Amino acid sequence: MRILFVAAEAAPVAKVGGMGDVVGALPKMLRAMGHDVRIFMPCYGFLPDKMPIPSEPVWYGSAMFQSFSVYEAVLPGTDVPLYLFAHPAFSPRRIYSGDDEDWRFTLFANGAAEFCWNYWKPEIIHCHDWHTGMIPVWMNQSPDIMTVFTIHNLAYQGPWRWYLEKITWCPWYMQGHNTMAAAVQFADRVNTVSPTYAEQIKTPAYGETLEGLMSFISGKLSGIVNGIDIETYNPEDDKYITQTFNAETLEKRSANKIALQEEVGLEVNSQAFLVGMVTRVVEQKGIDLVLQTLDRFLAYTDAQFVLLGTGDRYYETQLWQLASRYPGRMATYLLYSDAIARRIYAGSDAFLMPSRFEPCGISQMLALRYGCVPIVRRTGGLVDTVSHHVPSNHRGTGYCFDRYEPLDLYTCMVRAWEGFQYKENWKALQQRGMSENFSWEQSAKEYVSLYSSMYGLPSETETVTPQLVTK
């Protein structure tokens, strides 16, 4: 199949959230399965720092009374063709934000449609989030091109229709009051990044006012859990951590804990219960719960806490103030760093993820891979990837709580702190987590089945392990 991924992000060159991980990893796996998969994304101003950009474009186009060009490159570390949409609106060194965000991503989507009509014609366009939401609407007039629309986060729904009608072509048949609403109605298939989230968005608590529409289109709605790149994130050969290890050599892991404590300014103590958190500092990620709970947790235990991330200035300030009350026991790094994130996964005893809602989540899977026990709220993809630890039957991979309440989070964290005191049981818990398989191989097979279903074809079964091509 010829498949074009159209998205605002693609790791490792442009990544803010989980979408970047998906678009950066899934095409590579699908190509290894024999499909012609390519990526179309904006040519951001910072991309020349991260990858070589060809000197000459392969195609020139026009959309929304704007001229643009498209450059053909290769996604670093893969053999996936990468088409870069070049326009002055994307010259700034940023991915999101700005007063022109709605306009420029609508232009990007329009450019992608023109590209498919006039230069490289795929059989399937795989669209990601509202930034590409108008593509299924426009492709409704091209029955030979099918569309899949993936919802990574329903909370961000794009511009309202009244604005779209001012800036771009809204066909007479278009329905929906914003980009997201239009996309899910006209896409041939709609999926989310976990089965649980696909069900949750049909309810008022998670539907973001679109729950009725999500129930209406439930016949074409499904959920496929994201994977992680198990070659890139591998504690056995990760160059960013102090000491490599695996499930059978967990005793070596303590060297990473000590190195992390030294790096972030915590008291060096291999016996202290170290909780890590790598996150966007926003309400969705449960930061308000953390702020209500962490003071008491640190006061009544000997635990330590380290957080890495950026986001809402109000929450950042609150975290700084809390850290100042616990010198040597709490560290707050308000920045993004993949290297430090890996060291937190490899050195922390537990990983905190108390999300208000979580379409899938990547961090909890990375934590499990590195022997870091997750403490999560049972919502969205966290339900599908972390099972609750029950000491009596030696099952489960992490600690889970249900209600979005400070007391529930506090109780769960205390249970994890108590469990850490029983070293052999804790080691077995770590090993169960490290034995989980979150590779993209299984997810890719499910996506192939999804693509095949649009043509009425039976699910494809891969009998040979895909051979990835790297450069």
Number of H helices, E strands in the chain: 16, 15
Q: Residue 235 falls within a domain, yes or no?
A: no
Is residue 38 in a domain?
A: yes
The residue assigned the tokens 């235990």 is: 301
SS3 of residue 51 by DSSP? coil
What integer pLDDT is reported at residue 391 of this predicted model? Answer: 87
Closest C-alpha among 110, 143, 106 to residue 124: 143
| This model's pTM is above 0.85 | yes
Alpha-carbon separation of residue 3 from 36, 37, 260, 437 (angstroms): 6, 5, 42, 26
Taken in order 178, 23, 227, 145, the sign of the CA dihedral is positive
Residue 352 lies in a domain: yes
**Are residues 44 and 69 both part of a single domain?**
yes
Q: Are residues 443 and 429 in the same domain?
A: no
Do 166 and 264 lie in one domain? The reply is no
Residue ranges, the chain, pLDDT below 50: 461-467, 469-471
Q: Count CB atoms within 10 A of the CB of residue 184.
A: 23
Residue 15 and residue 452: Cα distance in Å, rounded?
29
Q: Give the span between the Cα atoms of 310 and 294, in whole angstroms.
A: 18
Q: Are residues 315 and 297 in the same domain?
A: yes
Per-residue pLDDT, 459: 60
Burial of 117 (0-12, 13-18, 19+ CB in 10 A): middle
C-alpha of 151 from chain center: 11
Full DSSP string of 123-169: SEEEEESGGGTHHHHHGGG-TTSEEEEEES-TT----BHHHHHHHS-
Tokens matching residue 338: 């993949």
Q: What is the pLDDT of residue 76?
A: 94
User: What gap in Å lies between CA 4 and CA 175, rounded to an integer?
Assistant: 24
In a domain, residue 78? The reply is yes
Q: Are residues 279 and 211 in the same domain?
A: no
Does 132 share its domain with 273? no
- Quick one: 419 and 447 in the same domain? no
Q: What is the DSSP string of 386-444?
A: -PBPBTTTTB-SBEEE-S--HHHHHHHHHHHHHHHTSHHHHHHHHHHHHT---BHHHHH
The pair of structure tokens assigned to 106 is 């609508």
* Structural domain span for residue 262: 250-434
Residues 91 and 6 in one domain: yes
Side chain identity at residue 362, one-letter code:
I
422-430 contacts, C-beta under 8 A, 24 or more apart: 422/391, 425/391, 425/394, 426/349, 426/373, 427/250, 428/394, 429/373, 429/389, 429/396, 429/397, 430/247, 430/250, 430/371, 430/372, 430/373
Give yes or no: residues 445 and 425 share one domain: no
Instruction: Please report whether residue 343 resides in a domain.
Output: yes
The answer to whether residues 235 and 225 touch, using CB atoms and an 8 Å cutoff, is no
Cα 151 from Cα 160, distance rounded (Å):
17
Residues 445 and 308 in one domain: no
Integer Cα distance of 39 and 85 in angstroms = 11
- Residue 460's pLDDT is 54
CA distance 356 to 285: 6
For β-strands 330-333 and 350-353, DSSP reports them as unpaired
Q: Which pairs with CB-CB distance under 8 Å and at least 24 residues apart come from 407-411?
A: 409/286, 409/289, 409/290, 409/293, 409/354, 409/377, 410/293, 410/296, 410/297
Question: Do residues 448 and 317 both lie within one domain?
Answer: no
Report how many domains make up the chain.
2
* Cβ atoms of residues 193 and 226 within 8 Å: yes
CATH code at 114? Answer: 3.40.50.2000
Q: Do 205 and 332 fall within a single domain?
A: no
